[in-house]
């Protein structure tokens, strides 16, 4: 199920790439600088749009790395344009493409930590459920909300992407 979840995260990252295109189109239609979106936020003390996109990408990337023990490429959060953010999203999708279901065997019992936990650890199952998944969707949805609030014409279908519907 871990691998299936990362496949879903890849799909959502693909949708995020499309929202970035919609933001660009909105800016062109209204004749403002598309890269202004990078600094938009919903509250003065909230991360701006660029940081929300970076955090979405990093949450997926670091979760895959921590649950498999494979190194993740370091990325420097230097994006200045919507194009840069699209490249960041693509790079994480490409990173996730490198995993197979087999890589996630034993993920549930891996020991995961990060500096802000001050020496404490979580097991992989708890980390994934309590931290990685909620954080991924938090930053993804906040990025979406910032675009919606600023007039970008995206809707729920653009959030979910296509569903695996079939005849009964």
Q: Which is nearer to a second copy, 22 or 125 (CB)?
A: 125
Considering beta carbons, is residue 87 or 101 the nearer one to a second copy?
101
As measured in angstroms, the least distance from the Cβ of 13 to a second copy is 12
Element (DSSP H or E) covering residue 112: strand 111-112
Inter-helix orientation angle 2-30/82-97, to 10°: 160
CB of 56 to a second copy, least distance (A): 11
Closest CB to a second copy among residues 87, 160 = 160
Q: Looking at beta carbons only, is 1 or 29 nearer to a second copy?
A: 1
Binding stretches for a second copy (CB under 8 A) = 1, 4-5, 8, 11-12, 42-43, 46, 111, 113, 117, 119-123, 125-126, 129-131, 133-135, 137-138, 141-142, 144-145, 148-149, 151, 156, 159-161, 163-168
Give me 79's structure tokens.
Answer: 């994006």
* Cβ 153 to a second copy shortest distance, Å: 9
- In angstroms, the first-to-last Cα distance of the chain is 24
Query: Cα separation of 57 and 91, whole Å?
Result: 9
Burial 96-120 (b: 16+ CB within 10 A, else e): beebeeebbeebbebebeeeeeeee
| Cβ at position 2, least distance to a second copy in Å | 9
What is the C-alpha radius of gyration for the chain, rounded to an integer number of angstroms? 17
């Amino acid at each position: 199920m871990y691998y299936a979840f990362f496949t879903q995260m890849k799909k959502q990252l693909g949708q995020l790439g499309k929202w970035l295109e919609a933001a660009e189109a909105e800016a062109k239609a209204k004749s403002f600088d598309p890269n202004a979106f990078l600094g938009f936020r919903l509250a003065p003390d909230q991360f701006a749009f660029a940081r929300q996109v970076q955090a979405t990408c990093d949450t997926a990337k670091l979760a895959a790395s921590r649950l498999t023990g494979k190194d993740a490429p370091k990325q420097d959060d230097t994006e200045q344009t919507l194009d840069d953010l699209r490249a960041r999203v693509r790079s994480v999708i490409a990173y996730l493409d490198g995993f197979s279901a087999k890589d996630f065997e034993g993920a549930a019992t891996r020991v995961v930590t990060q500096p802000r936990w001050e020496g404490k650890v979580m097991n992989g199952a708890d980390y994934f459920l309590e931290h990685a998944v909620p954080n991924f969707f938090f930053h993804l949805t906040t990025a979406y909300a910032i675009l919606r609030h600023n007039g970008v014409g995206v809707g729920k279908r653009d959030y979910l992407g296509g569903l695996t519907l079939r005849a009964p």
